[in-house]
Structure 1
Amino acid sequence: MSASRSGELRAMFELMKSDHDRAQGAGHWKAVIAQTFDRITRPHGYSLDDLHTIIAPTLIITGDRDPFCTVEEGAAAYHALQAGEFAVLPDTGHLITPAAVQTVIDFFERL
């Protein structure tokens, strides 16, 4: 793992720890990891062909520095949709940023 990716993941866990512990009490972030670990570390079982069955307008959003979803993977998902939009946020990793929130709001306002 590259040093920059390691640093980004460390920052993500620190933010997660701060957010969850502040809202739910000390150590709660560990419960969140325990509850979601299997889901986020194993294949989800859906294929790009499955995405084609979605008929609702759908936004695929990724950061150009996202270690979990590359721009290419996001583009492939977008192309599989019947009615979709694709947003790539510059200089952005996996964390939800104000720009990501605004992109989602803009998407919903266009519906």
Structure 2
Amino acid sequence: MTETMVAAGPLRLWTERTGDPGDPAVLLIMGASAQGFTCPDALVGRLVDRGVQVIRYDHRDTGLSSVVDFDRHPYGLSDLAADALAILDAYGLSSAHIAGVSMGGMIAQWLGVHAPDRVRSLTLLSTTPMGARPGDLPPPDDRFLKHLAATAGTRPGVESDVALFRVMNGDVRPFDEPACRAMLERCWARAVDPSAAAHHGPACQRDSPDLHAPLSTITAPTTIVHGDQDPVVTLAHGEALAAAVPHAELRVVPGMGHVYCSSGLPELLAGLIRL
């Protein structure tokens, strides 16, 4: 396992590679405001056991990566996709298997549409069609929205994040609070500027024509993985994505919510990632 800071234009992005550099690569792209370490270690380890090297990284404005003055230099999904390509370039990878979670799944779609030669396969987890407009698909469920309303103004930190992750986990699969808390403590301890991660909200809302390119142009073998208890991006989003991407395989995980904080779930997901 090696850690490397990678240049992406004027930015520097923290990356970590696990596994044999000679093996095919999986690039893991996490969701909004999420550091690379929000991808469970167990998922990374199981993927390496399947014979690939795994690269995970901190998005700009998270973890150890560069902090951006968003007011002066706003960015959107295509800029975050360019960061992913810069990482592939830095590691000398002409292509990789791409696995994206939530916002990372939209970044992965962008790569599948606009940089198909860099994509060996796509695994789109807990995400929604790139370019979907508000109202196109169902909103988050009431429990999640009520939690956000009830905790508005709460001081950010590990405890508030644990409470949020508990809700996002859903009520069916047991919530592994000790593992989740350890992961969040790790992330908070290493964040250069924890408040900067909030820039991902407006970044996701920035519209541009490239986001509306037809998903039917994706040629990479694609698997869509979605939980049937996702309170944030409901299953209808995964179903719509499966209908839009040619020959996509939809794998519905019973009881899974929007985060992967249940014992055994990371290993299960590692087995579903397309290689």
Q: Give the distance between the partners of 2:270 and 2:215, measured in 1 at CA.
A: 19
Q: Identify unmatched segments of 5+ residues in structure 2.
A: 1-140, 149-161, 169-179
Q: What's the C-alpha RMSD, in Å, of the aligned pairs?
A: 3.5
1:65-95 CA distance string (max 9 Å, x none): 2133221221111011113111222222111
Q: Give the distance between the partners of 1:99 and 1:28, measured in 2 at CA.
A: 30
Q: Alpha-carbon deviation of 1:37?
A: 2.0
Report what 2:265 is aligned to.
99
Look up the equivalent residue of 2:219 and give its one-letter code. I
Q: Give the distance between the partners of 2:206 and 2:252, measured in 1 at CA.
A: 23
Look up the equivalent residue of 1:20 and give its one-letter code. C
TM-score for both structures, normalised by structure 2:
0.30
Equivalent pairs, count:
103
Report what 2:248 is aligned to.
84
Report what 1:10 is aligned to.
164
SS in 1 for 2:214: helix
**Do the aligned partners of residues 43 and 85 (structure 1) sit closer, same or farther apart at CA in structure 2, a change above 3 Å counting?**
farther
Report what 2:195 is aligned to.
30
Q: Give the distance between the partners of 2:249 and 2:226, measured in 1 at CA.
A: 11
SS in 1 for 2:217: coil
- Which protein is richer in helix relative to its size? 1
- Which protein is richer in strand relative to its size? 2
- Please identify runs of 4+ aligned residues in structure 1 that moved more than 6 A: none
Q: Give the distance between the partners of 1:51 and 1:100, measured in 2 at CA.
A: 27
Report what 1:64 is aligned to.
228
Does 2:174 align with 1:20? Answer: no
Q: Alpha-carbon deviation of 1:17?
A: 4.1
Look up the equivalent residue of 1:10 and give its one-letter code. L
Q: Give the distance between the partners of 2:163 and 2:206, measured in 1 at CA.
A: 20
**Larger Rg: 1 or 2?**
2
Q: Identify unmatched segments of 5+ residues in structure 1.
A: none
Q: Give the distance between the partners of 2:226 and 2:194, measured in 1 at CA.
A: 24
SS in 2 for 1:61: strand
TM-score for both structures, normalised by structure 1:
0.64
Q: Give the distance between the partners of 1:62 and 1:72, measured in 2 at CA.
A: 9
Look up the equivalent residue of 1:51 and give its one-letter code. L
Q: Give the distance between the partners of 1:80 and 1:93, measured in 2 at CA.
A: 22
